[in-house]
Amino acid sequence: MNDAAYQKCINPSCNATYGIDEVLTGCKKCKSLLDIAYDWNRLPVPKSMGFFEHRWNTKGLHSTGALDFSGVWRFRELMPFYRTEADIVTIGEGRTILQQADLLAKNIGMQAGSLYLQYEGLNPSGSFKDNGMTAAFTHARMVGATKVACASTGNTSASLAMYASLSGFKGLVFIGSGKISIGKLSQALDYGGITLQIQGDFDDCLRRIRQIAADPKNGIYLMNSVNPFRLEGQKSIMYRILEARSWEPPDWVIVPGGNLGNCSAFGKAFMELKELGLINRIPRLAIINASGANTLNELVTRRGLCWNGGNYDRQAVESIYAAMDESHYRPHTIASAIEISRPVNLPKALRALDVMNGVVREVTDEEILEARAKVARWGFGCEPASAATVAGLQKLMAEQIISPGESVVCILTGHELKDPNATV
């Protein structure tokens, strides 16, 4: 199956392609990000999304229906990069819930039946990261990797350590000292990840681990979201939302923005569904930054940066980073998961905003905490970064960009118990 899948540079003036078995975190020619691309004509593509419904009749993870049990691999025809089904590493991820949140809707002035919360914290390791890890571990197994690594604000490391332990890899995680909630740190330790705290923040950790993984001598497979296979799995969050809404797209999807992998995956999901004729309308996207880590909002909303067919203003990005260096800027927010000032997936996020007619906003820590309390009071709860979505929704309603009767899905990326300190 996999010779119809390949890796492709997202820069339209480069368009280099690479085989599916190469381990890359960027284009060898122009250093841009890579996509997983498919020659759909040579693949068995379902005629409608309803095709996936028959997969609900499964016996569970340890039956022959293990792939159907996974809320990611149930949609495997839409991420067919694996060679055979035996390559797939799954622990039963992606069985998450879309809740119609009428009590919360009422509190924030939306109409009943308009607001939905997608609880990705219900994944095995407690965050949306499992959707991506299952895909990246599948690729790691395909290429014979044995050691995997990531930099993390806590959830990626928890997920990596869990998958590594359950599927026989050695897991290594880099975290910034004092920059991670205790719940997440305890997970990496519990699952047996080799956990290194380094002086600095997430951006420093990622820079360091990318250097280490770039040296083939180290034999380390990188699991951060620059790995395009991870994002293939994260597309499934959108498929499940469509499924829970009888394949009717919502008007809006709202997601927190950190390293910008998730929003990028959502944009790719809808780009492909449209191309395949499987949906007729694409929802709008809102990406919400924390004010203390607002690079995307600064660039897009204040300085007008846009995808521009791939020819986005690279100078504007370089100059914001140069100014950060000069002033020794450090991001800071209570939403530690998204305390990131140099989001590596920025170009893909610009593309997602283009595809989904999106907007970006930022919200303060106070707004995040207030929204988090509301999700806990009138929902299943979530960690602070996830609540940025609800705070962002309130902002977009106040600006009359979202109206009370539009259908809105907020992606709650992490479980409430990830960061109980924030509540207590």
- Phi, psi values for residue 170, rounded to 5°: -90, 125
Contact between 258 and ligand F0G by CB under 6 A: the answer reads yes
Q: Which stretch binds ligand F0G (CB under 6 A): 163-171, 255-263, 325-333, 362-370?
A: 255-263
- Coil, helix or strand at residue 392: helix
Residues 291-330 close enough to bind ligand F0G by CB under 6 A: none
Name which of 114 and 152 has its Cβ closer to ligand F0G. 152
The distance of Cα 100 from the centroid of its chain, to the nearest Å, equals: 22
Q: Which is nearer to ligand F0G, 49 or 240 (CB)?
A: 240
When the beta carbons of 52 and 347 are compared against ligand F0G, the nearer one is 347
Q: Identify the bridge partners of residue 38 per DSSP, sorted by sequence position.
A: 5
Instruction: Enter the DSSP assignment of 415.
Output: -
Number of helical H runs and strand E runs in the chain = 15, 13
Residue 170 pairs in a beta bridge with 147
Q: How far is the CB of 262 from ligand F0G (least distance, A)?
A: 4
Question: Would you give the DSSP letter of residue 23?
Answer: -
Work out how close the CB of 355 gets to ligand F0G at its nearest, in angstroms, rounded to a whole number: 16
Judged by CB under 6 A, does residue 261 bind ligand F0G?
yes
Among 94, 171, 256, 292, binds ligand F0G (CB under 6 A): 256
Closest separation between CB of residue 42 and ligand F0G, Å?
A: 30
User: CA 14, CA 343: separation in Å to the nearest integer?
Assistant: 22
- If the CB atoms of residues 27 and 410 are measured against ligand F0G, the closer one turns out to be 410
Residues 89-148 that bind ligand F0G (CB under 6 A): 127
Q: How far is the CB of 51 from ligand F0G (least distance, A)?
A: 28
> Token digits for 349?
């996020």
* DSSP structure class, residue 111: P
Should residue 383 be labelled a site residue for ligand F0G when binding is judged by CB under 6 A? yes
Q: How far is the CB of 159 from ligand F0G (least distance, A)?
A: 8
Question: Residue 257 interacts with ligand F0G (CB under 6 A)?
Answer: yes
| Bridge partners, 409 (sequence order) | 116, 253
Regarding 289 and contact with ligand F0G (CB under 6 A), the answer is: no
Cβ 256 to ligand F0G shortest distance, Å: 4
d(CA 103, CA 86): 44
Shortest separation between residue 189's beta carbon and ligand F0G, angstroms: 15
β-bridge pairing 220-222 and 147-152: parallel
For residue 179, count other CB atoms closer than 10 A to its CB.
21
Considering the rule CB under 6 A, would residue 414 count as an interface residue with ligand F0G? yes
Which amino acid is it at 388? A
Candidates 109-117, 192-200, 257-265, 291-299: pick the segment binding ligand F0G (CB under 6 A).
257-265
- Distance, in Å, from the CA atom of 287 to the CA atom of 367, rounded to the nearest integer, reads 15
**Piece of 40-48, 250-258, 317-325, 398-406 that binds ligand F0G (CB under 6 A):** 250-258
Of residues 137 through 156, those in contact with ligand F0G by CB under 6 A are 152-156
DSSP string, 285-336: EEEEEETTB-HHHIIIIIT----GGG---HHHHHHHHHHHHHTT-----S-G
Q: How many residues bind ligand F0G (CB under 6 A)?
A: 21
139-165 burial: b if 16+ Cβ within 10 Å, else e? bbbbeebebbbbbbbbbbbbbbbbbbe
Single out the residue of 195, 386, 389, 407 in contact with ligand F0G (rule: CB under 6 A): 386
Tokens standing for residue 400: 């009359």
Q: Quick one: 69 or 312, whose CB is closer to ligand F0G? A: 312
Q: Which stretch binds ligand F0G (CB under 6 A): 73-81, 193-201, 367-375, 383-391?
A: 383-391
- In the three-class reduction of DSSP (H, G, I as helix; E, B as strand; rest coil), residue 255 is classed as strand
337 binds ligand F0G (CB under 6 A): yes
Choose which of 90, 167, 259, 289 interacts with ligand F0G (CB under 6 A): 259
- Give the HSE-up count for residue 268: Cα atoms under 13 Å, Cβ half-sphere: 28
Closest to ligand F0G by CB, 68 or 233: 233
Give the one residue of 371, 385, 387, 422 binding ligand F0G; rule: CB under 6 A.
Answer: 385
In eight-state DSSP terms, residue 93 is -
* Interacting residues toward ligand F0G by CB under 6 A: 127, 152-156, 225, 256-262, 337-338, 383, 385-386, 413-414
